[in-house]
Amino acid sequence: MKKLFILLLCAFAAHTASAQIFAVRANALAALTGTLDLGAEVSVADKWTVEVAGRWNPIRTTSLSMNFYAVQLGSRYWLYESFVGHYIGQHILYADYDLGNRHKRYNGRAVDVGVSYGYSWILSKRWNISVEAGIGLFYTRDTRRDPTVGDWDDEYIYHYCRWRLIPSELGVSFNYLF
């Protein structure tokens, strides 16, 4: 009985050691806009993974502002097995932003609940590439200001609360599997 238990324990350890259960990713499509988008994902079951991701864009000039940071939590259901093939995901996101151009600036916060679909191709034993697209329902609270108004001039400040159904995920990510 003791030998059977040791044999089963060794077989389980060998299976666990060979499977990839953790991945880190970088979104190459977001990098084209100057956004740093990094994430980590862990397998919690045969076909389920949980991820956490962070996004940050520091671009802020007098004529263009794309300054934001966001934190996203999500899960994915893989149709074949974790980190391979088609998957369906759901996520929640929190963002703090300062977006705009010379004529309008939006400064506020957003919360998103959304779904996504993606596919992951295996490149090698440790690398894969995945493509993902998704849609989300955003709730935003922001303030709109005119940046051309001087400090001593009168200015209208608009406060908005909006619900929007817009794309929330679009990415081509390179993943490293552990």
Domain ranges within the chain, ordered by starting residue: 21-177
Residue 12: what pLDDT? Answer: 43
Going by pLDDT thresholds of 50, 70 and 90, the confidence category of residue 155 is confident
Residue 14 has pLDDT above 50, yes or no: no
Query: Which amino acid, 95?
Result: A
Which residues are paired to 114 by β-bridges? Answer: 91, 136
Least reliable range by pLDDT among 80-89, 91-100, 129-138, 142-151: 142-151
Q: What is the pLDDT of residues 96-123, one digit of tens each?
A: 999 999 888 999 999 999 999 999 999 9
Going by pLDDT thresholds of 50, 70 and 90, the confidence category of residue 84 is very high
Higher-confidence residue of 154 and 87: namely 87
Residue 6: what pLDDT? Answer: 46
Architecture category of domain 21-177 in CATH: Beta Barrel (2.40)
Strand ranges inside the chain, DSSP E? 22-27, 36-43, 48-57, 64-78, 85-101, 105-122, 127-145, 158-177
Mean pLDDT, the chain, integer: 89
Going by pLDDT thresholds of 50, 70 and 90, the confidence category of residue 2 is low
Residue 37: what pLDDT? Answer: 97
Report DSSP letters for 5-33, one per residue: HHHHHHHHHHHHHHS--EEEEEEHHHHTT
